[in-house]
A and B are shown apart, each in its own frame.
Chain A
Amino acid sequence: MRLVTAKAPLRLALIDGDTGFVGVVGKRFEGMGWQHRVIDGPVPAGELAAMRLNALVIDPETLGTGAWDFLEAACAALPELGVLVCTARSTVAQRVRGLRLGADDWIAKPCHAEELVARIEAVVRRRQRSASSTDAEPLRFGELEIRPDRFQAYVSGQSAELTRREFELLRLLADTPGLVLEREHVYERVWGYAMAHGDRSVDVFIRKVRQKVERLSPGWRYVHTHFGIGYRFQPESLDHDAGEEENGPVAPTEREPVGGIEVAVSDGAAVSTKSAGHPAPARQPAEHRARAGSRA
Chain B
Amino acid sequence: MLADSGRNIESATALLRELVAGYPERADLAPQIRDLEHHGDRIAHDIIARLSTRGGARTPGLEQLGILARTLDDIVDYAEETADIMGLYRIEAPMEQAEELAGMLEQAGHAVARALRNLDGGHELDEALIEIHRLENEGDRVSRAALADLFAGGIDPMVVIRWKDVFESLEQGIDACESVAHLLEGAQLRAGR
Contact = CB atoms under 8 A, between A and B. Distances in A.
Interface residues of B, number: 20
B93 A193 contact: no
B155 A194 contact: yes
Contacts of A193: 154-156, 159
B92 A204 contact: yes
B95 interface: yes
A47 B153 CA distance: 11
Nearest to A47: B154
B24 A199 contact: no
B96 interface: yes
A112 B67 CA distance: 66
Nearest to A207: B25
Contact of A196 (B23, B92, B159): B159
Nearest to A202: B93
Contact of B95 (A47, A200, A205): A200
Majority-rule SS of A interface residues: mixed
A196 B24 contact: no
Nearest to B159: A196
Contacts of A203: 93
Contacts of B156: 191-193
Contact of B152 (A47, A50, A196, A205): A196
B78 interface: no
B94 interface: yes
B93 A196 contact: no
A100 interface: no
Nearest to B148: A197
B153 A194 contact: yes
Contacts of A195: 155
B97 interface: yes
Contact of B163 (A194, A196, A204): A196
B153 A198 contact: no
Interface string B4-25: 0000000000000000000110
B115 to A, nearest CB: 31
A180 to B, nearest CB: 20
B38 to A, nearest CB: 30
Interface in A159-195: 191-195
Which of A47, A192, A194, A198 has the most C-beta atoms of chain B within 10 angstroms of its own C-beta? A198
A201 interface: yes
A90 B28 CA distance: 62
A196 B94 contact: no
A248 to B, nearest CB: 24
A196 B150 contact: yes
Contact of A198 (B23, B96, B154, B160): B96
B159 A199 contact: yes
Interface in B142-171: 146, 149-150, 152-156, 159-160, 163
A200 B94 contact: yes
Nearest to B92: A201
B155 A198 contact: no
A291 B23 CA distance: 35
Interface of A: 47, 50, 191-201, 203-205
20 contacts: A193-B156, A194-B155, A196-B149, A196-B155, A196-B160, A196-B163, A198-B95, A198-B98, A198-B149, A199-B93, A199-B95, A199-B159, A200-B95, A200-B96, A201-B92, A203-B93, A204-B92, A204-B93, A204-B94, A205-B92
**Pairs of residues from A and B, 6 with the lowest C-beta to C-beta distance, nearest first:** A194-B154, A204-B93, A198-B96, A193-B156, A197-B149, A201-B93
